Structure 1
């Protein structure tokens, strides 16, 4: 069995101000560092055998704060956040005010101008999934978009039917042969209040 520990990075200043960042390399905020440290004990309890990490600085720092500083060999660009094209750096409220495209993007049915849609992101993340070991417990420190893509691919969960992936949250999947079970979703330590933060 492969136990997959999917962790979204801690909050960034762009997350807290509801600016879309996508694959723009924005570092963790002080609050994001606190969130990641709070999740460390939970991750330790799962005893990961291996680490895979998005190469962006916010994921690398989150992994380190979880007690698993990544080496260059642990970095996999397949797990990076989606390229949001012309939307990168814009405020979610401004895009939403312009029309239905923002909500359609959140539902996985719209591709931001010049960026990746959910289908393109899913194809990329699937390559990352296929590269994982077939068994053991693997910690993947990534982003909200890839977590949603994995859930859609493995469990056929429509993005509109799940709450947003919280910063520094844990989702656990158990993969046995062709079977996948969702063991936990969006887990944050009790001392940390979950927040919705756009990707």
Structure 2
């Protein structure tokens, strides 16, 4: 049975201060490196036959710390482009534009110069199709919280407004026993789950 393992990168330097990063190429914090190393043994038990990572360094470095330094860098797995909101602190966005932020989080609004949800979702559909076409039964994708939300929307029709933020260095699994996908795991970590993770 085909399985796609979706791992969000460990905490980044901007996650630590709750700054929206989108496609800004921000590295892991020291805590994020620790989180990624800690998750490695859990991921190894699945023995992925194909490992893909976003080409942004916080994801690629997470893949390396998980034990996959030669993971294929796949630009399709880049985070949602948040346009003019890049680098803005989440608390400031919520204070200044609460409705816009809530709509963005629900996939119904894009900030200026940002990626609209339908385009982002289509990009992630292409990444999932790439994984499904590969002969490997288990595919590991090391990516971003937005990518995981979009993957759940693509595979399961689970709208982003119905999903809590994906925690850093967490594992979600989508299985394909038939053409209909099922969610086997969501937001699993080796430490206490973070239920209010920054986007």
TM-score (norm 2): 0.94
Give the conservation status (yes or no) of the 8 Å contact 1:10–1:32.
Answer: yes
1:78-132: CA deviations, max 9, x gaps? 0000111100000111111122101111111111111112211101111111111
Q: Relative to structure 1, is the Cα distance of residues 31 and 98 closer, same or farther in structure 2, using a 3 angstrom cutoff?
A: same
Give the conservation status (yes or no) of the 8 Å contact 1:3–1:135.
Answer: no
Please say if 1:59 is aligned against 2:59. Answer: yes
Please say if 1:23 is aligned against 2:16. Answer: no
CA distance in 2, matches of 1:43, 1:115: 32
SS in 1 for 2:10: coil
Q: Which residue in the other structure is 1:179 paired with?
A: 180
Q: Which residue in the other structure is 1:164 paired with?
A: 165
Gaps in structure 2 of 5+ consecutive residues: none
SS in 2 for 1:179: coil
Gaps in structure 1 of 5+ consecutive residues: none
Give the conservation status (yes or no) of the 8 Å contact 1:28–1:58.
Answer: yes
Give the conservation status (yes or no) of the 8 Å contact 2:164–2:195.
Answer: no
- After the TM superposition, list the runs of 4 or more consecutive aligned residues in structure 1 that deviate by more than 4 angstroms: none
CA distance in 2, matches of 1:140, 1:66: 12
CA distance in 2, matches of 1:59, 1:34: 14
SS in 1 for 2:18: coil
TM-score (norm 1): 0.94
Q: Which residue in the other structure is 2:96 paired with?
A: 98
Please say if 1:75 is aligned against 2:76. Answer: no
CA distance in 2, matches of 1:86, 1:70: 33
CA distance in 2, matches of 1:192, 1:13: 20
